[in-house]
Amino acid sequence: MAEEPCVLLQSMVMMGLWIKGDQKSRDTAMTFHNKLLSAIKAQKSEWYVSESTSRLSNEASWPMATLQSILLHIIFALFVADRETTFDLNCRYRLPAPIYDLLKALVETCRKLGLFCYPNMLSRHDSSASLALVWVGVEELKRFGLALYKVCRLCTSGASSDTEPTIRKYSHPSESELLTLADLDFCLPDSDELWNASPGQRSPLIRDVASQLVLRENQDPETWISQTSRQLKDASLSFDWI
């Protein structure tokens, strides 16, 4: 915990206070949320990478602590929305426009950085890095990507039908999704037993599991989540179910 950047630690404290549930804790959590959200927006130029940005080098920074903090604040906004907002016809939470814009910026940045691609995840590590270090880094990115996908599926813009983007009103729904299964070029995370193990237990566990060849075959594109979109999505079917 002590090694985590301040913004991520404060965001985790914010979530813990909200989950605690009493009014005083939730009021404090809201104060954290408002202050940290203002800081994240003020520093957007430091982390945001737009789709129009020219080709990035392989050395481009992945500011994971900041990206994770942003996701936590969007999830926090969903907690608040659960009490204060309505659903759309697809049973999705309508987020306030500023929060939804932040979600769009987060997805755009992650996509431009190539964060949803397994070979890119692997390339962040030196060839001499330990198996445990590489495994933890890749698992962290996989779980972040899946959490972001789930959040995107849970919410929509709080704009009224008159101000919603044209693409959302008139195009096939999948074309207006922020993040789809087809974007996730990696396979499912490995076991929770490994992920939840203490740092001291994790290295020998990973070595044992790897020697038994039961870790997922990440290198094979056929095992990636993106491949499931061929069976689970159909351009001629607009029914919103996954």
If one compares 163 and 50, the residue with the highest pLDDT of the two is 50
Length of the chain equals 242
130-178: per-residue pLDDT in tens?
888 888 899 999 999 999 999 999 988 765 444 444 333 334 445 568 9
pLDDT bin (cut points 50, 70, 90) of residue 212 is: low
Give the pLDDT score at 165: 41
pTM, full prediction: 0.84
Kind plus residue range of the DSSP H or E element containing 53: none
C-alpha torsion angle, residues 167, 154, 72, 215 (rounded to 10): -110
